[in-house]
Amino acid sequence: MILYLMCFALFLVGVYGLLTKRDLIKLILSIAVMGYAVNLFLILFAYKKDAGIPILLEGVVQGSMVDPLPQALVLTSIVIELGTTALLVALAIRLVQKYKTFDITKIRRLFG
Amino acid sequence: MPVETWLYFTLGFMILGSIIALEIKDILSSIVAIGVVGLGVSVAFLFLQAPDLAIVQFLFEIFAMIILVRAFVKKDYHAETPARVNGFLVAISMLVIIAIFVSSISVFKLLPPFGQPLFETAQHYVDHGVRETGAVNLVTAIILDYRAYDTLGEVTVLFTAILGTITILRIRNGKNAGRKGA
């Protein structure tokens, strides 16, 4: 249970950064931290004690394996995270080019 | 040593690294600290018997760091502006987050203990995966055979995100029409 709590604490660190930081880059990094925490939590939850990797190897007696389904879905999620990070970075680049600042409290003019 | 001990160490390291990344003023150091956190995730995946994920996370981290450093550090390297810290906001956020954490402890007590997973749906994949798909790596079997439509959706989302990135970066301001895009 302590592992789950530590993973949740990592998520909350991301939430804290998202709530209190003003720098655009810090916000992107906070979102990345939250993504790490969620992926790690799913894999922690799927771990089975004394189980092996979900790959059948030749010459190795098949024991119990960890659950392959969450691993497959988290693999999908990691790749999507890369795409969203790239999109966020692109948006931040345009914002900085337009407003000449990284501080989100100074980015006020929405139109024009 | 049992795997839990390693995971305590790795997770503590990651929490520390992410706090440093958020609090340090220098942006390059911040990005590097996030890279360290991501590599910690990769190591944790290795301990949790997920080698495919460890490799993908490693690659993701490298790419993300390349994107972040290329986008922000070279052009106008900056330290975080020492804006007046809104102490009230920070205090309220800390209080709310600590309250959420404390109240979540009872929720996490309801989960089964670490090492005894709840999911049983994947037992079919483990038992019949090789015979039905011919792939010895069951993660691959699930991604590319049982849940191929999920993968198709993933590729669509990724394609859309990359398309959006390219589109956003290609828009030019009217004034700077002649300038080369970012």
pLDDT at B48 over 60: yes
Mean pLDDT across the stretch B83-98? Answer: 82
**Residue A86: closest CA among chain B residues belongs to which residue?**
B165
Q: What is the pLDDT of residues A44-96, one digit of tens each?
A: 888 888 777 877 777 666 667 788 888 888 999 999 999 999 999 998 888 88
The answer to whether residue B41 sits within a structural domain is yes
- Are B14 and A79 within 8 A, CB to CB? no
Residue B34 CA: distances (Å) to CA of A24, B21, B72, B104, B175: 15, 6, 14, 26, 36
pLDDT at B176 over 60: no
Find the farthest-apart pair of alpha carbons in chain B and give their distance in angstroms, rounded.
Answer: 64
Lowest mean pLDDT among A13-27, B14-28, B118-132: B118-132
- Are A79 and B60 within 8 A, CB to CB? yes
Residue A3 CA: distances (Å) to CA of A85, B4, B90, B153: 27, 8, 27, 32
Mean pLDDT across the stretch A91-111? Answer: 78
Q: Sign of torsion, CA A29 A30 A31 A37? A: positive
> CB-based contact (8 Å) between A38 and chain B?
no
Residue B45 CA: distances (Å) to CA of A52, A71, B10: 13, 10, 10
CA distance A97 to chain B (A): 9
Of B62, B81, B100, which marks where a domain is finished? B81
Alpha helices in B81-181 (DSSP H): 87-110, 123-133, 138-141, 148-170
pLDDT at position B141 is 84
| Domain count of the fold of chain B | 2
pLDDT at B182 over 50: no
Compare B100 and B126 and report the one with higher pLDDT.
Answer: B100
Compare A44 and B128 and report the one with higher pLDDT.
Answer: A44
The answer to whether residue B113 sits within a structural domain is no
pLDDT at position B181 is 47
The answer to whether residue B105 sits within a structural domain is no
Residue span of the structural domain in which B174 resides: 123-182
Q: Is this prediction's ipTM beyond 0.85?
A: yes
pLDDT at position A111 is 57
pLDDT at position A50 is 77
pLDDT at position B115 is 76
Compare B173 and B109 and report the one with higher pLDDT.
Answer: B109
pLDDT at position B9 is 92
Compare B9 and B126 and report the one with higher pLDDT.
Answer: B9
pLDDT at position A8 is 92
Lowest mean pLDDT among A50-59, B33-42, B140-149: A50-59
On whether the CB atoms of residues A66 and B50 are closer than 8 A, the answer is yes
Helix and strand numbers, DSSP H then E, in chain A: 3, 0
**Amino acid identity for residue B164 in this structure:** G
- What CA–CA distance (Å, rounded) separates A69 from A62? 18
CA distance A107 to chain B (A): 14
- Are A86 and B45 within 8 A, CB to CB? no
pLDDT at B17 over 90: yes
Q: How confident is residue A103, by pLDDT bands cut at 50, 70 and 90?
A: confident
Nearest beta carbon to residue B52 from set A21, A71, A86: A71
- Are B67 and A48 within 8 A, CB to CB? no
